[in-house]
């Protein structure tokens, strides 16, 4: 084997790692190649054995799948136009890698893979998922409710936090640059679950406009609502716009009382 320059070996290693990634190869070999690229980028030398193994891997290229039928099915699904990147990444790792190595799938993995392939098939036939127009008002309300939550609420709810942030970004960008932000169905479902208490109030208001109700040892005239609230004070609660002692305030629903105290 001819002696290679550092620049050539670096470029060939990067090309191989990219080919590994596109083929769903996640193995000790791919990790080794990544480590060698890092060493070369840091100006560190490679030992004789490291250079030999790296050059052998470059020569061999991407390995031949041991379960080609399943592998081809997964790869074709991962290339569907409009498929969410999160779904594509899961198809490649672990499932393309499992098919590449010929490993057996557990029952749970088979179901998971089936669900991912169904999503890809649906996107192929109908395009990327997006909410029905009839859902949009509830989604906007739930997203606005999420904005009133404090950091303490999100700290132990990373999934809800990610979903709320993604939906908020999608709502902001979709009418300006459609398709800029990817939105998956689970993002919306997670957000709606997070804001479920406020949404129950949205769907079935406890108070009607024009009613007089109790509020902080006084009486309040209901002007409008329910609304998401415009500050952290609401903290995930629906609020009503009310007139109290000549002032218009936003009162959280749980602070309004059915009976008026005089």
pLDDT at 200: 95
Largest pairwise CA distance in the chain? 96
Residue among 29, 107, 122, 96 nearest 88 (CA): 96
Q: What is the DSSP letter of 104?
A: P
Q: What is the DSSP letter of 197?
A: H
Whether the predicted pLDDT of 256 surpasses 60: yes
The backbone torsions φ and ψ at residue 237, rounded to the nearest 5 degrees and listed phi first, read -100, 145
d(C-alpha 71, C-alpha 91), whole Å: 10
Give the tens place of pLDDT for each residue, 174-189.
777 777 888 888 999 9
**Which band of pLDDT confidence, cut at 50, 70 and 90, is reported for residue 77?**
very high
pLDDT at 171: 92
The backbone torsions φ and ψ at residue 7, rounded to the nearest 5 degrees and listed phi first, read -65, -45
242: CB partners within 8 A, 6+ apart: 213, 215, 220, 221, 222, 223, 225, 248, 249, 250, 251, 256
Give the tens place of pLDDT for each residue, 27-68.
778 889 999 999 999 988 889 899 899 999 998 888 888 999
Whether the predicted pLDDT of 262 surpasses 60: no
The domains of the chain are located at 6-60, 68-126, 133-202, 205-257
Give the mean pLDDT of the chain: 89
Whether the predicted pLDDT of 259 surpasses 90: no
**Which band of pLDDT confidence, cut at 50, 70 and 90, is reported for residue 108?**
very high
Give the tens place of pLDDT for each residue, 193-224.
999 999 999 999 999 999 999 988 889 999 99
Q: Which long-range contacts (CB under 8 A, 24 or more apart) does 230-235 make?
A: 230/148, 231/148, 232/148, 232/149, 232/150, 233/148, 234/145, 234/148, 235/148, 235/149, 235/150, 235/153
Mean pLDDT across the stretch 21-29? 75
CB 16 within 8 A of CB 57: yes
Model pTM?
0.69
């Amino acid at each position: 084997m001819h002696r290679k320059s550092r620049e050539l070996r670096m470029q060939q290693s990067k090309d191989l790692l990219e080919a590994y990634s596109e083929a769903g190869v996640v193995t000790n070999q791919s990790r080794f190649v990544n480590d060698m690229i890092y060493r070369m980028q840091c100006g560190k030398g490679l030992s004789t054995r490291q250079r030999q193994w790296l050059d052998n891997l470059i020569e061999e290229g991407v390995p031949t799948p041991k379960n080609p039928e399943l592998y081809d099915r997964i790869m074709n699904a991962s290339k569907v136009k409009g498929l969410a990147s999160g779904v594509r990444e899961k198809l490649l790792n672990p499932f393309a890698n499992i098919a590449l190595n010929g490993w057996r799938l557990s029952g749970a993995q088979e179901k998971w893979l089936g669900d991912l392939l169904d999503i890809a098939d649906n996107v192929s036939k109908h395009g990327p998922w997006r909410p029905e127009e009839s859902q949009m008002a509830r989604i906007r309300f739930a997203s606005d409710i999420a904005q009133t939550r404090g950091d303490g609420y999100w700290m132990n709810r990373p999934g809800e936090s990610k979903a709320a942030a993604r939906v908020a970004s999608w709502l902001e960008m979709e009418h300006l640059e459609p398709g800029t932000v990817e939105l998956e169905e689970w993002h919306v479902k997670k957000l709606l679950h997070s804001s479920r208490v406020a949404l129950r109030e949205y769907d079935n208001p406890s108070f009607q406009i024009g009613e007089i109700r109790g509020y902080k040892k006084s009486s309040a005239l209901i002007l409008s609502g329910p609304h998401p609230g415009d500050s952290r004070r609401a903290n995930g609660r629906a609020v009503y716009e009310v007139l109290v002692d000549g002032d218009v305030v936003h009162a959280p629903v749980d602070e309004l009382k059915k009976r008026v105290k005089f």
